[in-house]
Chains A and B, each alone.
Chain A
Amino acid sequence: MSRNLIIGTVLTSIFVALAAVSFVWTPHDIETLDIPNKLQGPGGGNLLGTDHFGRDILSMIMMGARTSIAVAVVAVGIGMALGIPLGLLAAARHGSLLDELIMRGNDLVFAFPSLVIAILITAVFGASAVNAIIAIGIFNIPVFARLTRGAALPLWERDFILAARVCGKSATRISVEHILPNITNLMIVQGTIQFSLGILAEAALSYIGLGAQPPTASWGRMLADAQTLVSIAPHTALVPGFAILLMVLGLNLMGDGLRDWLDPRIRVART
């Protein structure tokens, strides 16, 4: 295992653990306001200080991790659940009109700047975590569809696929039985990368107020709330900022490390 993979996995696990713990326990309740105790610095009664309503920042970070991870997981899930079958279908019907339609449709989605469209969707259908998930998820579909098709095409040329066809197996069955297991590694790696992009996208949407709505905690909105207070209480902006940074960094390192670890060719070259 490479150093990248270890650091990335540790960072990611820390945030996942924080999110998981928040279901049963947080240091303070974040729904009660404690105005007299506002903008406390780190240390003292609140480990990472309090915000302008006197809420405990560590607790908010934990609850926010939950939102970020949930949004990213579902968004990647949407991308995989629709993108991989589309990619497999395009590869199985390579060169057909259907392949053309799927891939040009992907190009169409790719052609739009994703965040702008996400803003449009949430602006039209209302700002909520669910709409944010759908908006981010839609832009994951072509990523997975393209990758799947690209990885599946060379596999279709292999003799073991020909052997399966000689055995009368249908294209669908071959895709599920033979193609899919051979591209899983790639999907895991890409999934990790898309996961980190999902977290960034969710933070961006919440920052402009189009993501999860109060009282649900969100890293992006914590940053937005802290914006005007940076000079008085810098920790209110730094803490959620670093949370986003470390989580995304961790996921990217993990994705990078996983790619090397899962690819036997690179593994041999390293040793």
Chain B
Amino acid sequence: MSLLAIKDLGVSINGTAILHDVSLRMTHGEIVAITGESGSGKSMTALAVMGLLPRGATAAGQIVLDSTDILRTSETDLCQMRGNAMGMVFQEPMTALNPVQTIGDQVAETILIHEKTTKVEAHDRAAAMLARVGLKLSPTRYPHELSGGQRQRVVIAMAIALRPKLLIADEPTTALDVTTQARILDLLRDLVREFDMGLLIITHDLAVVADVADKIVVMQKGRVVEAGATQDLLANMQHPYTKALFEASTHVVSLPEAKPSAPMLSVQDVVRDYPITRRRLRGPRPMFRALHDISFEINQGERLGLVGESGCGKSTLTRAILGLEDVQGGEIRLDGQAVFAGKRPNLAVRRKMQVVFQDPYSSFNPRHRVERLITEPFHLLDSPPTGQARQAAIAKALGDVGLTPEDASKFIHEFSGGQRQRIAIARALIVEPELIIFDEAVSALDVSVRAQVLDLIAELCRKRPLAYLFISHDLSVVRSVTDRVIVMQAGKIVEQGETEAVFANPQHPYTQTLIAAAPQLPQIGMVV
């Protein structure tokens, strides 16, 4: 008998249809992955199963969990079921926990709500559950003392504390580093086998899907376009959207050949210290060393990748190179000039560098029009173009990234995430810098959009000599768009070399771990 059967589920919010005829079945001990791009309705499906549809939503069809139809169950009964019969793990472990309660209390709370037990017993069971999810910490710790991966383990412990029959995980590893992601996925897989529960995992990451799922459901615009057992589906894709999706995620951009050239940016023995909170009332403030003797060079027209997990010092290094913060030791020079002259950043150097940030939604002032947004770097020029020349520069920059000159008078909210990232690139290009820093610039984008943006970057490289530093946690992307790569761990460079050489034959144990942990898409026979 099936554990969960969704039949012809349709959801509309205020009259706008979000889901159309979604159907799927899963049994005990099975891992089903729903995948698709943003707006495909995968999270809405999960919320519908939990009976947590947003206000104003109406649902039609059937969601039968263990012979109970969720859509025809009262809120009171649903509260009984949530946590008990079904548990949920959210994407963002940083906000999913209450910061003022210990982790033990939070897990015990789930138990106390649903079962009549003593506090002592609930806390014992909570401690056991925390140990089961691999957390070797005291239950009296507070969430802020934990890392992202550890918090996600607490969230999982809360979700499975009562051994639910169905666990729903909405992008459970998206916010985590690759090595942590691998461990969390292992944990989820083990728990499914041990408790014989069903796991409905929602993710946009096809490599994760291929790695863990028994069954795949591909969604597009609120419809299921294709579903099937993982091996069958991967071997024999039917729907063009599925094919396009998998193609985009294994997309390889064709970079022009890098020519040998002179060094441009040189980073020499850079040290960056941050003062941290005093441990004692008197005495010097302790310092945290975020960067240890970092040295590397970028040649003209060279594409350098920077890989490392969160907290390795990537962002600190970016800020130091951009001259936003001074360093405590060493030197950063671009074309022989220091980026930080005395106490002030050197504007003459800064105009040779631009940056594209990760989040396309926070990198623009929502109150300015595109023309004003992308001409902001003109501030760096001694005599910025005016009138006709300015209009021409705007049109050229927009044209270069595949937008039209008419887009100049629009506001940023009229654009999608991918278009915004193009505008961010246009903003970086408008002063024709020698070096662009892409700080996780494609990480927040859907696979198909990401492929387009990567193609755009490759095309820009063909048009003019463009050097960039491409920072990413996504190894496959770094591999495809860089000539050379640097691997950072805990503020130190542990390995650097030609991209292909490093990926094919990693020397440092950390690099080996990183590459091993990254989920891989199996080679798919796309032969027709």
Interface of A with B (CB < 8 Å)?
Answer: 158-160, 162-169, 178, 181-182, 269, 271
Contact between chains at B364 and A160 (CB < 8 Å): yes
Tell me which of B208-216, B234-242, B372-380, B518-526 binds A.
B372-380
Contact between chains at B365 and A182 (CB < 8 Å): yes
Q: Which of B320-377 contact A (CB under 8 A)?
A: 322, 324, 345, 347, 350-351, 353-355, 357-359, 362-367, 376-377
30 residue pairs A–B, Cβ–Cβ below 8 Å = A158-B362, A158-B363, A159-B358, A159-B362, A160-B362, A160-B364, A160-B365, A162-B324, A163-B355, A163-B363, A163-B424, A163-B427, A164-B376, A165-B324, A166-B322, A166-B350, A166-B355, A166-B377, A167-B377, A167-B380, A168-B345, A168-B347, A168-B350, A168-B351, A168-B380, A169-B376, A181-B365, A181-B367, A182-B366, A271-B14
Q: A168-B347, A168-B350 are in contact. Are A162 and B357 (CB under 8 A)?
A: yes
Contact between chains at B350 and A182 (CB < 8 Å): no
Interface of B with A (CB < 8 Å)?
Answer: 14, 55, 322, 324, 345, 347, 350-351, 353-355, 357-359, 362-367, 376-377, 379-380, 424, 427
Chain A residue contacts of B427, Cβ below 8 A: 163
Residue on A nearest B367 in the bound complex, by CB: A181
Q: A182-B365, A182-B367 are in contact. Are A159 and B377 (CB under 8 A)?
A: no
- How close is A200's CB to chain B, nearest CB, in angstroms? 34
Contact between chains at B367 and A163 (CB < 8 Å): no
Q: Which of A169, A178, A182, A269 contacts B379 (CB 8 A)?
A: A169
A181 to B376, CA, bound (A): 16
Residue on B nearest A161 in the bound complex, by CB: B365
Contact between chains at A159 and B322 (CB < 8 Å): no
A168 to B357, CA, bound (A): 16
Contacts between chains A and B (CB distance < 8 A), count: 50
For the complex of A and B, 9 pairs with smallest distance between CB atoms:
A159-B363, A159-B357, A181-B367, A159-B362, A158-B362, A167-B377, A167-B379, A167-B376, A168-B380
Chain A residue contacts of B376, Cβ below 8 A: 163-164, 167, 169
Chain B residue contacts of A162, Cβ below 8 A: 324, 355, 357
Most central of B322, B363, B365 by chain A CB within 10 Å: B365
Residue on A nearest B348 in the bound complex, by CB: A168
13 other A-B residue contacts (CB within 8 Å) besides A159-B358, A163-B357, A182-B367: A160-B364, A162-B355, A163-B364, A166-B353, A166-B354, A167-B376, A167-B379, A167-B380, A168-B345, A168-B347, A178-B365, A182-B365, A182-B366
Chain B residue contacts of A165, Cβ below 8 A: 324
A168 to B380, CA, bound (A): 6
- How close is A243's CB to chain B, nearest CB, in angstroms? 38
Residue on A nearest B361 in the bound complex, by CB: A159
Residue on A nearest B56 in the bound complex, by CB: A271
Chain B residue contacts of A271, Cβ below 8 A: 14
A164 to B14, CA, bound (A): 39
A164 to B322, CA, bound (A): 12
Residue on A nearest B324 in the bound complex, by CB: A165
Chain A residue contacts of B362, Cβ below 8 A: 158-160
- How close is B494's CB to chain A, nearest CB, in angstroms? 27
A158 to B351, CA, bound (A): 21
- How close is B152's CB to chain A, nearest CB, in angstroms? 24
Residue on A nearest B377 in the bound complex, by CB: A167
A1 to B276, CA, bound (A): 48
A166 to B325, CA, bound (A): 11
Chain B residue contacts of A167, Cβ below 8 A: 376-377, 379-380
A169 to B376, CA, bound (A): 9
Most central of A158, A162, A166, A271 by chain B CB within 10 Å: A166
Contact between chains at B367 and A168 (CB < 8 Å): no
Most central of B322, B362, B424 by chain A CB within 10 Å: B362
- How close is B275's CB to chain A, nearest CB, in angstroms? 10
- How close is A263's CB to chain B, nearest CB, in angstroms? 14
Chain B residue contacts of A158, Cβ below 8 A: 362-363
A168 to B354, CA, bound (A): 11
Contact between chains at A160 and B355 (CB < 8 Å): no
Residue on B nearest A174 in the bound complex, by CB: B365
Most central of B347, B358, B367 by chain A CB within 10 Å: B367
A164 to B376, CA, bound (A): 7
Residue on A nearest B431 in the bound complex, by CB: A167
Chain B residue contacts of A160, Cβ below 8 A: 362-365
Chain B residue contacts of A166, Cβ below 8 A: 322, 324, 350, 353-355, 377
Chain A residue contacts of B354, Cβ below 8 A: 166
- How close is A70's CB to chain B, nearest CB, in angstroms? 32
A165 to B379, CA, bound (A): 10
Most central of A163, A169, A181 by chain B CB within 10 Å: A163
Chain B residue contacts of A269, Cβ below 8 A: 55
Residue on A nearest B364 in the bound complex, by CB: A160
- How close is B276's CB to chain A, nearest CB, in angstroms? 13
Most central of A160, A164, A269 by chain B CB within 10 Å: A160
Chain A residue contacts of B14, Cβ below 8 A: 271
A213 to B365, CA, bound (A): 49
Q: A163-B355, A163-B363 are in contact. Are A168 and B324 (CB under 8 A)?
A: no
A131 to B204, CA, bound (A): 65
A188 to B105, CA, bound (A): 43
Chain B residue contacts of A159, Cβ below 8 A: 357-359, 362-363
Chain A residue contacts of B363, Cβ below 8 A: 158-160, 163
Chain B residue contacts of A182, Cβ below 8 A: 365-367
A158 to B353, CA, bound (A): 20
- How close is B325's CB to chain A, nearest CB, in angstroms? 10
Chain A residue contacts of B367, Cβ below 8 A: 181-182
- How close is A269's CB to chain B, nearest CB, in angstroms? 8
- How close is A180's CB to chain B, nearest CB, in angstroms? 10
A163 to B376, CA, bound (A): 9
A271 to B14, CA, bound (A): 9
Chain B residue contacts of A163, Cβ below 8 A: 355, 357, 363-364, 376, 424, 427
Chain A residue contacts of B347, Cβ below 8 A: 168
A269 to B380, CA, bound (A): 42
Chain A residue contacts of B379, Cβ below 8 A: 167-169
A167 to B364, CA, bound (A): 13
A165 to B344, CA, bound (A): 12
A213 to B45, CA, bound (A): 69
Residue on B nearest A173 in the bound complex, by CB: B379
Residue on B nearest A169 in the bound complex, by CB: B379
A181 to B379, CA, bound (A): 19
Chain A residue contacts of B358, Cβ below 8 A: 159
- How close is A183's CB to chain B, nearest CB, in angstroms? 11
